């Protein structure tokens, strides 16, 4: 087994987490970003042992494509902002769903599973509150906090076909929650 | 005090911040002077009383200010015998919290009065750009104010040579005393124009034609106020607008003569009514129910204004009109979002309600009762409200434990972290365990939670917030590997006290599910083994060594906390056998238990128990639950499931 140096481990993980947090929430912020959300996740494939496990505010989302519906249910101009994040490597040699040829470890850290914890805020447009009358006179309430815990795993497709466009890391597990 | 997420609990529907504005109203009543009107006027009420009522009100106004201003006099609701006749009204308001000052009534009957002031045109001030109105008003206010009274003119307008001013009744009395005073070389003639009662009407018609229009408008307004006052029931917070065409007050005004219908007078009524409230909240608190029964309405287009005036209405009775189809409601658009009760009895549409139910439910997302039939449970409405608050429904914790491994771990973790961190490390951590923490200093929090933020210093030193920490060496030094390293960090962190997880479970929000592909410490499984990912949101107090209050922190801001413990890959591996070999039957049963949890709100333990007793048949278990739910102890249910 080839070991990943601690240096590489941290570097690769931070880079992966950074790319994820900087693109994923932007997609949520996009007007029609709902359809693009699914591409951040491992695919639902009955033959693969690798399945996405998504919980948003306690609701289990069976298929990443269902996130489009959640995205649509939000008022437009909802804005997610990442305020803090941290990451750790869970397994330096993650192999679930990996092709037979890729069971060996990778010293460059390409096969890690990386846990990312994000703390941020969601801002709903003011009109939303007026329309729903939830808070008649407290515009400050429109900003809420969230915590998101995400497990990034290697995108096996990219190793297979070496396609440049694809994401290197995909979300296998997500526990998102508005906490404020 | 800092608390965790102000996510509204699921139960109470009217958790809107009504308390504060109610206080505001009360204060105004006390300070603003208007005399509280006797209940009798209110209770006579049915249609006869418009004129009488106003007169009696007026009589009181001139009397000495009552000292019971703020009293919540709830005397004699039994005297509302006249109301017995109006069953629907009570029905639609039933179950409401009726303890509410009769704001509308007091506003209506103690409303402003008007004076006509002549003489300005012959004064020197008449050459002012505004014709001297402003200086006249200043003069009146100054002269009328005494040492204990600050007279304030609310409204004024110039009509011809006269100026009409409106003020509170007490102020008007003071201003009236200025009759005959000299203003800028002219003698002022001040006469009351208030309460254009029926007695003063004939006299007026013979009066100056010029003032006819404005005083007419004023008079109509006063009369409409009278009509409204007679139709308001403060106990039920009900505005009874039924059978308007038969209203003696309105008939007397002649508004229904000829072809005039409800559609003409209704907007005026609504404008007058809306004008009685300073804020939407006041209005919302004072009028919860409206009945428009017996108005011969074929389309709500005739009463469109209701939606603008009462957008927050909860109970609406449209009995015995001619509403026949959904399109008859189009004029209200998507208004009345908060409608909870809708009565359509005696309308042609009634026969189609079965087929239209879903359309109606869609139109009124929080409607609970349609024609006396419950179409949504309060729980469903609570969920819908919750959804409205955060577009993505906030559901209870998704806690998919495996063989109680997660639960047992959390119970020990929280206690040990507070009391014996070394033992915690010894029990659950090993040389490969990794820990880090990050502080989100920017975290949003509701402005209700404006208490001081705890000093972050001990945590900031270790914060691995990657938004800020961008250089690799720091990223590495703030990642602590192995129990010894973790112990060193933990020893620098303040002692903490977490709420007791057994008794104060609602202070926590814990979720977990299985995570595949962890490294197998034995090296046997090439594809790795399963673990659990546990996410815990909570709060804690620091036990500060220096004297002082323990500090309460919003846990969510402390995303710093428990990063390692939440995330640690090694943790679940301790009870290795349990986690690595998961029998599929057990998984199935757990999924089933979770479904039952979702449907019943029972705890997973009780759900599992229930399922065991019914042979793991979900439907049977649900039926058993339905039959016995009243007998279940409180702890059988997930507390505060909304979190």
Own/partner long-range contacts of B153-158 (Cβ < 8 Å, ≥24 apart): B154/B112, B155/B112, B157/B214, B158/B120, B158/B131, B158/B133
What tokens were used for A35?
């359809």
Question: Chain A: nearest CA to B96, how far in angstroms?
Answer: 20
In 3D space, the residue among B293, B286, B302, B315 whose CA is nearest the CA of residue B108 turns out to be: B286
- Which chain A residues contact residue B392 at CB under 8 A? 56-57, 59, 70, 73-74, 178
What tokens were used for B639?
């507390």
**Other beta carbons less than 10 A from residue B27's beta carbon:** 12
B326 and B215 within one domain: yes
B19 touches chain A (CB under 8 A): no
Give me the pLDDT at residue A103, please. Answer: 83
For residue A23, name the pLDDT band (cuts at 50, 70, 90): very high
**Segment B373-378 mean pLDDT:** 87
B350 touches chain A (CB under 8 A): no
Residue of B nearest to A104 (CA): B526
Give me the pLDDT at residue A164, please. Answer: 58
The Cα–Cα gap between B232 and B223 comes to 14
Element (H, E) at B418: helix B405-419
B439 touches chain A (CB under 8 A): yes
**Other beta carbons less than 10 A from residue B633's beta carbon:** 7
B481 touches chain A (CB under 8 A): yes
CA-to-CA dists, residue B254 to A150, B251, B257, B294, angstroms: 71, 5, 5, 19
User: How many CB pairs below 8 Å do chains A and B form together?
Assistant: 213
Q: Any idea how long chain B is?
A: 643
Model pLDDT for residues B220-266, shown as the tens digit of each residue: 888 888 888 888 888 888 999 888 888 888 877 776 655 455 667 78
The DSSP symbol for B338 reads T
The chain-wide mean pLDDT, for chain B, equals: 68
B345 and B232 within one domain: yes
Residue B425 confidence (pLDDT) above 80: yes
In 3D space, the residue among B9, B64, B76 whose CA is nearest the CA of residue B35 turns out to be: B64
State which residues form the domain around B46. 1-54
Partner A, chain B 388-427, Cβ-Cβ below 8 Å? 388-398
For residue A159, name the pLDDT band (cuts at 50, 70, 90): low
Question: Chain B: nearest CA to A163, how far in angstroms?
Answer: 24
Give me the pLDDT at residue B38, please. Answer: 40
Give backbone dihedrals phi and psi of B498, rounded to 5 degrees, phi first. -95, 150
The chain-wide mean pLDDT, for chain A, equals: 82
Is residue B552 situated within a structural domain?
no
- Which chain A residues contact residue B396 at CB under 8 A? 58
3-class DSSP state of B301: helix
For residue A38, name the pLDDT band (cuts at 50, 70, 90): very high
Give me the pLDDT at residue B285, please. Answer: 86
Instruction: Return the domain boundaries, chain A.
Output: 6-179
Question: Chain A: nearest CA to B272, how far in angstroms?
Answer: 23
Neighbour order of strands in the sheet with B232-233: B232-233, B238-240, B289-291, B315-317, B341-343, B369-370, B373-374
CATH of the domain at B427: 3.10.450.50
B16 touches chain A (CB under 8 A): yes
3-class DSSP state of B179: coil
Model pLDDT for residues B413-422, shown as the tens digit of each residue: 888 888 998 8
**Segment B529-550 mean pLDDT:** 63
Element (H, E) at A173: strand A169-178
For the ranges B329-333, B466-470, B493-497, B581-585, the lowest mean pLDDT is seen at: B581-585
3-class DSSP state of A60: strand
Q: Which residue has the higher pLDDT, B379 or B73?
A: B379
CATH of the domain at B161: 3.30.70.330
**Segment B450-467 mean pLDDT:** 75
Residue A30 confidence (pLDDT) above 80: yes
| Contact check, Cβ <8 Å, B391/A175 | no
For residue B319, name the pLDDT band (cuts at 50, 70, 90): very high
B202 and B214 within one domain: no
What's the complex ipTM?
0.86
Do strands B480-481 and B434-435 pair parallel, antiparallel, or not at all (unpaired)? antiparallel
B273 and B129 within one domain: no
Is residue B429 situated within a structural domain?
yes
The Cα–Cα gap between A141 and A137 comes to 9
C-alpha dihedral (B441, B444, B449, B454), degrees to nearest 10: -10
What tokens were used for B308?
């603008």
**Segment A83-104 mean pLDDT:** 87
Give me the pLDDT at residue B91, please. Answer: 40
For residue A150, name the pLDDT band (cuts at 50, 70, 90): very high
C-alpha dihedral (A43, A45, A49, A53), degrees to nearest 10: 50
The Cα–Cα gap between B149 and B172 comes to 12
Model pLDDT for residues B579-595, shown as the tens digit of each residue: 222 234 555 666 677 67
Give me the pLDDT at residue B565, please. Answer: 31
CA-to-CA dists, residue B133 to A16, B116, B360, angstroms: 73, 13, 54
Residue B134 confidence (pLDDT) above 60: yes
For residue B315, name the pLDDT band (cuts at 50, 70, 90): very high
B148 and B111 within one domain: yes
Q: Which residue has the higher pLDDT, B160 or B388?
A: B160
Model pLDDT for residues B2-46, shown as the tens digit of each residue: 333 333 333 333 333 333 333 333 333 333 334 344 443 333 333
- Which chain A residues contact residue B481 at CB under 8 A? 6
Give me the pLDDT at residue A24, please. Answer: 96
Residue in the structure block whose two tokens are 């006041």: B282
Is residue B378 situated within a structural domain?
yes
Q: What separation, in Å, do the N-terminal and C-terminal C-alpha atoms of chain B show? A: 19
Give me the pLDDT at residue A53, please. Answer: 93
Question: Chain B: nearest CA to A76, how far in angstroms?
Answer: 11
What tokens were used for A150?
């995400």
Partner A, chain B 271-300, Cβ-Cβ below 8 Å? 280-281
The Cα–Cα gap between B294 and B321 comes to 6
Give me the pLDDT at residue B539, please. Answer: 74
The Cα–Cα gap between A153 and A53 comes to 12
Give me the pLDDT at residue B257, please. Answer: 58
Residue B430 confidence (pLDDT) above 70: yes
C-alpha dihedral (B131, B134, B140, B145), degrees to nearest 10: -170
B285 and B302 within one domain: yes
Give me the pLDDT at residue B209, please. Answer: 52
Contacts of B304 (CB under 8 A, 6+ apart): B267, B331, B332
Number of independent structural domains in chain B? 5
- CB-nearest partner of B556 from A50, A95, A145: A145
Is residue B569 situated within a structural domain?
no
The Cα–Cα gap between A132 and A140 comes to 15
For the ranges A37-41, B364-368, B444-448, the lowest mean pLDDT is seen at: B444-448
Q: Reduced to 3 DSSP states, what percent helix, strand and coil does chain A have, rounded to the nearest 5?
A: 35, 30, 35
Is residue B411 situated within a structural domain?
yes
| Contact check, Cβ <8 Å, A70/B280 | no
Interface probe for B, chosen from A18, A53, A177, A178 (most Cβ of B below 10 Å), is A177
The Cα–Cα gap between B285 and B24 comes to 12
For the ranges A137-146, B139-148, B427-436, the lowest mean pLDDT is seen at: A137-146
B526 and B420 within one domain: yes
B551 touches chain A (CB under 8 A): no
**Segment A126-153 mean pLDDT:** 60
Residue B49 confidence (pLDDT) above 50: no
Give me the pLDDT at residue B558, please. Answer: 31
For residue A156, name the pLDDT band (cuts at 50, 70, 90): confident
Give me the pLDDT at residue B497, please. Answer: 84
Is residue B442 situated within a structural domain?
no
Question: Chain A: nearest CA to B534, how far in angstroms?
Answer: 9
B378 and B259 within one domain: yes
- CB-nearest partner of A86 from B396, B466, B533: B466
For the ranges A21-25, A65-69, B188-192, the lowest mean pLDDT is seen at: B188-192
For residue B443, name the pLDDT band (cuts at 50, 70, 90): low
Q: Which residue has the higher pLDDT, B202 or B637?
A: B637
Residue B517 confidence (pLDDT) above 80: yes
**Segment B428-436 mean pLDDT:** 82
B445 touches chain A (CB under 8 A): yes
Question: Chain B: nearest CA to A15, how far in angstroms?
Answer: 10
Q: Evaluate the CA torsion angle B112, B116, B121, B122 in order and state its sign.
A: negative
Residue of A nearest to B559 (CA): A119
The Cα–Cα gap between B193 and B207 comes to 12
Residue B92 confidence (pLDDT) above 70: no
Residue B51 confidence (pLDDT) above 80: no
Give me the pLDDT at residue B255, please. Answer: 67
State what percent of residues in chain A have pLDDT above 70.
Answer: 84
Task: Assign domain A6-179 to its CATH architecture.
Answer: Roll (3.10)
In 3D space, the residue among B112, B107, B109, B116 whose CA is nearest the CA of residue B215 turns out to be: B116
Give me the pLDDT at residue B560, please. Answer: 35
In 3D space, the residue among B429, B518, B530 whose CA is nearest the CA of residue B481 turns out to be: B429
Give me the pLDDT at residue B125, please. Answer: 81
CATH of the domain at B235: 3.80.10.10
Is residue B14 situated within a structural domain?
yes
B164 and B120 within one domain: yes
CA-to-CA dists, residue A164 to A154, A171, B550, angstroms: 14, 18, 54
B529 and B405 within one domain: yes
- Which chain B residues contact residue A134 at CB under 8 A? 16, 385, 388-389
Is residue B239 situated within a structural domain?
yes
Region label for B403, one of left (φ > 0), alpha (ψ between -120 and 50) or beta (otherwise): left
| Contact check, Cβ <8 Å, A180/B397 | no
């Amino acid at each position: 087994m080839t070991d990943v140096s601690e240096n590489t481990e941290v570097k690769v993980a931070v880079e992966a987490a950074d790319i994820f947090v900087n693109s994923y929430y932007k997609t949520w912020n996009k007007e029609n970003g709902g359809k693009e959300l699914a591409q951040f996740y491992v695919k639902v494939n009955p033959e693969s042992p690798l399945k996405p496990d998504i919980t948003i505010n306690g609701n289990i989302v069976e298929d990443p494509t269902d996130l489009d519906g959640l995205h649509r249910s939000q008022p437009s101009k909802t804005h997610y902002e990442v305020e803090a994040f941290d990451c750790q490597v869970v397994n330096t040699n993650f192999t679930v769903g990996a092709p037979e040829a890729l069971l060996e470890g990778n010293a460059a850290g390409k096969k890690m599973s990386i846990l990312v914890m994000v703390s941020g805020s969601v801002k709903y447009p003011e009109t939303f509150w007026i329309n729903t009358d939830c808070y008649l006179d407290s515009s400050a309430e429109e900003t809420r906090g969230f915590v998101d815990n995400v497990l990034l795993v290697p995108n096996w497709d990219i190793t297979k076909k070496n396609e440049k466009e694809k994401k290197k890391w995909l979300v296998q597990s997500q526990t998102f929650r508005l906490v404020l | 005090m800092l608390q965790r997420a102000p996510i509204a609990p699921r139960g109470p529907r009217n958790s809107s911040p009504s308390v504060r504005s109610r206080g505001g109203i009360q204060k105004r009543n006390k300070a603003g002077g208007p005399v509280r009107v006797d209940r009798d006027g209110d209770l006579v009420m049915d249609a006869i009383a418009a004129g009488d009522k106003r007169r009696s009100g007026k009589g009181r106004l001139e009397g000495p200010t009552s000292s019971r201003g703020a009293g919540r006099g709830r005397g004699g609701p039994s005297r509302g015998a006249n109301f017995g006749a109006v069953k629907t009204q009570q029905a639609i308001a039933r179950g409401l919290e009726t303890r509410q000052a009769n704001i509308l009534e007091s506003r209506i009957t103690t409303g402003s009065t008007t004076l006509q002031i002549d003489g300005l045109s012959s004064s020197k001030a008449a050459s002012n750009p505004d014709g001297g109105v402003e200086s006249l008003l200043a003069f009146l206010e100054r002269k009328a104010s005494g040492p204990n009274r600050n007279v304030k003119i609310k409204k004024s307008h110039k009509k011809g040579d006269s100026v009409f001013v409106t003020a509170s009744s007490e102020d008007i009395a003071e201003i009236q005393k200025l009759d005959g005073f000299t203003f800028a070389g002219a003698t002022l003639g001040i006469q009351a124009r208030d309460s254009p009662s029926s007695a003063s009407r004939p006299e007026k018609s013979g009066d100056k034609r010029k003032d006819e229009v404005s005083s007419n408008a004023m008079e109509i307004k006063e009369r409409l106020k009278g009509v409204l006052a007679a139709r308001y029931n403060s106990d039920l917070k009900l505005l009874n607008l039924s059978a308007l065409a038969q209203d003696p007050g309105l008939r007397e005004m002649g508004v229904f003569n000829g072809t005039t219908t409800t559609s003409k007078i209704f907007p005026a009524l609504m404008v007058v009514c809306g004008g009685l409230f300073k804020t939407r909240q006041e209005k919302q608190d004072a009028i919860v129910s409206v009945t428009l029964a017996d108005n011969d309405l074929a389309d709500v287009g005739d009463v469109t204004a209701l939606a603008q005036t009462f957008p927050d209405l909860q109970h609406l009775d449209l009995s015995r009109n001619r509403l026949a189809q959904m399109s008859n409601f189009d004029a209200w658009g998507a208004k009345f979002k908060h409608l909870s009760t809708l009565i359509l009895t005696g309308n042609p549409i009634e026969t189609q309600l079965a087929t239209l139910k879903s359309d109606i439910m869609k139109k009124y997302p929080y409607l609970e009762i349609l024609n006396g039939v419950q179409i949504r449970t309060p729980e469903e409405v609570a969920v819908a409200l919750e959804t409205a608050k955060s577009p993505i429904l906030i559901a209870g914790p998704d806690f998919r434990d495996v063989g109680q491994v997660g639960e047992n771990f959390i119970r020990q973790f929280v206690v040990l972290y507070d009391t014996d961190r070394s033992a915690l490390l010894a029990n659950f951590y090993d040389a490969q365990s990794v820990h880090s923490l990050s502080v989100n200093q920017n975290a949003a929090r509701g402005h209700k939670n404006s208490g001081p933020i705890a000093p972050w210093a001990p945590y900031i030193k270790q914060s691995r917030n990657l938004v800020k920490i961008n250089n690799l060496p720091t990223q590495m030094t703030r990642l602590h590997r192995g129990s010894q390293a973790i112990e060193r960090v933990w020893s620098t962190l303040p002692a903490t006290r977490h709420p007791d997880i057994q008794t104060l479970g609602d202070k926590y929000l814990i979720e977990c599910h299985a995570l595949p592909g962890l490294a197998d410490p034995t090296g046997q499984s090439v594809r790795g083994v399963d673990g659990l990912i546990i996410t815990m949101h909570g709060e804690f107090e620091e036990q500060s060594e220096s004297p002082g209050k323990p500090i309460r922190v919003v846990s969510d801001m402390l995303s710093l906390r428990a990063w390692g413990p939440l995330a640690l890959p090694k943790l679940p591996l301790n009870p290795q056998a349990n986690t690595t070999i998961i029998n599929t039957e057990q998984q199935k049963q757990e999924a089933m238990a979770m479904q039952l949890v979702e449907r019943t709100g029972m705890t997973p333990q009780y759900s599992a128990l229930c399922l065991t007793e019914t042979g793991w048949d979900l439907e049977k278990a649900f039926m058993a639950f339905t039959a016995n739910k009243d007998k279940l102890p409180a702890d059988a249910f997930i507390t505060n499931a909304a979190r």
